[in-house]
Structure 1
Amino acid sequence: MKLAISIVMLAASSTLASAQGVRHVPPADAEAGQDLELVAEAPASTPTLVAHVRTRGTQPFTDIELVRKDNARWVAVVPAAAVVAPGVDYYVTAGDAPVFATLEWPHSIAVRVPADAERRTRDELRAGHRRSRMHALGEWVEYGTKTVNGTKLADHYYRFDADFSYRLWTYPLEEIRVGYTRLLGDTLQAPDQMCPTTEACTAEAGFKVAGWFELGLAAVEGVRFDARMMVMATQDGFAVGGRGEARLGERDASHVALGVEYLAAVGTNGFFRLGWGTVPRLPMSATVEITNLPADHRPTGVRLYYDLGYDVTPGVRIGLRVGYAARNQSVAGFTGGGGASVEF
């Protein structure tokens, strides 16, 4: 019934327009955030043409006078800010006479929202409309102390990371990050290095300064790959490293992730992480890591640690990390750390 009434009204409008020499063909649809042109053909003697426009579902109409486009055509440009979903309603008058649709029965144009724009809106809502983030994390990793011939051999390191990230949301590039890392420890001396005595000894390992740059890529929403390039000042001089992480889900909510990090002359670690955000304001994750840090000559060890975050206020979070680390079944140690982040 409604369709039949609409057809009758459009037919009546077309008849009236033809009688006054005005012809208007409405656009099939429009794209959100883009100017919308309403074009009419009319002789120069036609009274002033006015398009009365509103966003679908709102009450007042805005008047936009049609201006000459060429000898036979007139155009009204609906500004991009007014072209929003779900659609645009309008009718056209010449003087006081309707020539296309009417106030009571306006014509409606559906407004399409591009897929990237819809995705960006969802990302902005998840991030609370905050694009920038500052983050710092420090941790202590203890593999345990072995005693060989009465000599205690330490095996531990600490790591500190600080970074700044910015959400671009220019898909597939979601985010960029720049950061600083410091990793220093004390572990068994390398076999090709001399100790002061014939007994085994430990030596400092790791690096004091490293800078890195990271890209967060997500061609498909919810599936993300982070790629990092790192330059380090190690015990043996300058070296490079890298890190990659593939993740399904949101980092600060429920997700699974698999990744690897390579630090030349320092070591390699691979990890699997399971995160969940089922408790409001308390994101959590558990990570299993296989690594030989802080020195690449050390045997592979295993770390298991648990992260718990707490949202102090929207955009401000503190975190705690606890776990253990071991290179074999007889000796193990404690992993502990904490961090904080601010988004704005």
Structure 2
Amino acid sequence: MRPVIFSAATWSILMLLALPALAQDDQPEAPDADLAPAATVLHAPRHHAVAGEALTVRARIGKDWSLGEVRLRYRSNDGPWASAPFTRSGNTFEAVVPGHAVRTGQLAYTIESGEGATARAHFASIEHPHIIAVASTAELDRELVRLARYHGKRGRILARGEVFAYGARLVDEGGDFPGDPRNDGQTDRYSDRYWRTEVEYTYRTLGEFLHDFRFGIGLMRADWPTVDGESQYAGDSPGINYGFGEVNLEFTDWLVVGGRILLGASAEGFVGGVGAVGRLGNPGGTHFAAQVDFIGDIGTRTDLRLHWDTVPRVPMALGIELTNWPSDGRSADAANLSFDLGYAFEGGLTLMGRVGSAKRSASLDGGFQLGMTAAYEF
């Protein structure tokens, strides 16, 4: 048999035929689909809308080509569900709810893609949609006017403290008739005293009827008056730890009326109370306020106060407090006059100081009161 001899040309042809196969073998494997970056939909939720005005919902969509159509599903109140597609607008995607579909009440929406078995919810869902409030233009305008009274601040945290010290007064030491020398005893000056402090949180809803709600905690401690250094009454000194909740309703732009419930514990045990408050005028500025509280065996407190802010950043108030705190039945009626002066700083912080007199019935000389309030609005 004669040996087969390959020429240089034959070898060249064979190498050219083999190169595609070799190149195919050298190609890297396709990435595993499970390891590839997933499509993402990033969305900052809307919180309110205006009836009759189109609502634009925006999202950032990564790898949008892998999701097919991304759409906004929405419905107004209890109406049928409708859809609006997301379309690219610069670096984001937008879906628009037409104005005729935005009705007063509420609007629910969700973001989804795909159909049937491939359907996927990216934000909320049909079963649990995101719900936003829809106000009529008139309602929204009124709310903005109310909010402007508080310089755009809905929330407030407030802390206050006060101390009261009363002057000496005559006491009945068992005389049989008016003018009996045994009635000439008197309490030691400033021995009849108490202090109280409160911390409260307020949120202003500024709705059509509900103006705000607030809740807080407080405590009061007192000393029985003394006669020649001896306590006038036996037993524990009066005091109370309490919490309260308050709801205020707006009947007109210039009249806000509310009620409060107080629950606490004193040396005598559980104590309950109720209160009422009314504000006439601009509650965020110049107004007259009246507040009445009834608390178990602690007593009654009525506060009448005129607030004004005619000097920018310098709130002031003048008021009188009528009370028989700290012990109903044992503490004589008192009238406490006071003046408040404060300063409102940039950023929402307001500090106010209080000075005034404190005087009980049958007092021989005057007493005093001091107070401090710090409020932060946000």
Q: Which TM-score bucket, shorter chain as reference?
A: 0.5 to 0.7
Find the counterpart in structure 1 of residue 260 from structure 2. 228
2:265 counterpart of 1:265: no
2:195 equivalent among 141, 158, 183 = 158
In structure 1, what residue type is equivalent to 2:365? Answer: V
- Could you say what the CA RMSD is over the residues aligned between the two structures, in angstroms? 3.2
SS at match of 2:142: helix
* Contact 1:277 1:284 survives alignment (8 Å): yes
Once the two structures are superposed, the pairs formed by residues 62-101 of structure 1 within 5 Å of their partners are: 78-79=98-99
Structure 1: stretches of 5+ with no match in the other structure: 1-31, 38-63, 65-75, 84-111, 190-194
Give the direction of change, closer, same or farther, for the CA distance of 1:81–1:183 in structure 2 (3 Å limit). farther
Q: Is the 8 A contact 1:139 1:338 kept in 2?
A: yes
Cα distance between partner residues in 2 of 1:136 and 1:81: 46
User: Which of 154, 157, 162 is equivalent to 1:131?
Assistant: 154
Aligned to 1:317: 350
Once the 2 structures are TM-superposed, how far is the Cα of residue 200 of structure 1 from its aligned partner? 3.4
1:294 is the counterpart of 2:311: no
State the secondary structure of the residue aligned to 1:169: coil
> Aligned match of 2:213 in 153, 159, 176?
176
SS at 2:153 equivalent: coil
CA deviation map 1:168-194 (0-9, x unaligned)? 1223111111100101111249xxxxx
Paired residues, number? 243
Q: How far is the alpha carbon of 1:158 from its aligned partner?
A: 0.2
SS of the aligned residue for 1:170 comes to coil
Residue 35 of structure 1 deviates from its aligned partner by 3.9
More strand by percentage: 1
Q: Deviations along 1:128-187, whole A, 9 cap, x unmatched?
A: 222111100000011124587587372110010101111112231111111001011112
1:281 aligns with 2:313: yes
Taking a change above 3 Å as real, the CA distance of residues 145 and 119 of structure 1, as seen in their structure-2 partners, is same
* Compared CA separation, residues 241 and 314, structure 1 to 2 (3 A): same
Shift of 1:259: 2.4
Q: Which of 310, 333, 340 is matched with 1:307 structurally?
A: 340
The equivalent of 1:167 in structure 2 is 204
1:238-294 CA-to-partner distances (Å, cap 9, x unmatched) read: 111122111112344211122211111001012221111110001111111111111
1:198 Cα offset (Å): 9.7
Q: What is the CA–CA distance in structure 1 between the aligned matches of 2:248 and 2:151, rounded to whole Å?
A: 19
Distance 1:119 1:288, change over 3 A: same
Whole-Å Cα distance in 2 between the matches of residues 130 and 299 of structure 1? 41
Larger Rg: 2
* Aligned-partner residue type, residue 207 of structure 2: T
Q: What is the TM-score with the length of structure 1 in the denominator?
A: 0.63
* Distance verdict in 2 for CA 1:296–1:290, change over 3 Å: same
C-alpha distance in 1, partners of 2:142/2:170? 57
SS in 2 for 1:282: coil
Query: Does structure 1 retain, via aligned residues, the 8 Å contact 2:50–2:137?
Result: no
Compared CA separation, residues 247 and 36, structure 1 to 2 (3 A): closer
The gaps in structure 2 that reach 5 residues or longer are 1-48, 55-83, 85-95, 104-134, 172-184
TM value normalised by structure 2? 0.58
Could you say which residue in structure 1 is the equivalent of 2:251? 219
